[in-house]
Amino acid sequence: MASDIIQVCVVTTVAGILTGRPESIRRKLYRVLESMSWWTPLGWIMDLKTCNEAMQKLQAIAEEFAKETNGKQLFYLATIMMSYKDLERLMQYSMEPANQEIAKRLKKILEVHKELAEFLM
């Protein structure tokens, strides 16, 4: 039987109001997130493949921000498990990433799961 659980990465920003150089670093983070992840009410969500691809960019931005702000954290990244149905529902209230190839990845994962679940019924 197909698993009803999917593993995704969630990124949530934690920095407060910023000015100067830290604000430009935060904007750099948002450009990466807007390109590679789905904006949802829960935070920025990516499939694991995309998360692994983005990790080096995100780490570089985090280090740059920490250096500029004496060790403050810019974002929180977590890998979470959620049901396919919950993810599908969450994506109904989300904004797609600018990169359409990446947008298709998560849609394809959900589509394949749906087909597999129907096949097994």
CA–CA separation, 20 and 117 (whole Å): 51
CA–CA separation, 27 and 47 (whole Å): 22
pTM over 0.85: no
Pairing of strands 43-47, 75-83: unpaired
Output the pLDDT for position 1.
43
Query: Per DSSP, which regions of 37-83 are E strands?
Result: 38-40, 43-47, 75-83
User: Tens digits of per-residue pLDDT, 29-55?
Assistant: 999 999 999 999 989 999 999 999 999
Block mean pLDDT (10 aa), the chain, length 121: 77 80 92 94 91 95 93 93 88 90 86 72 61
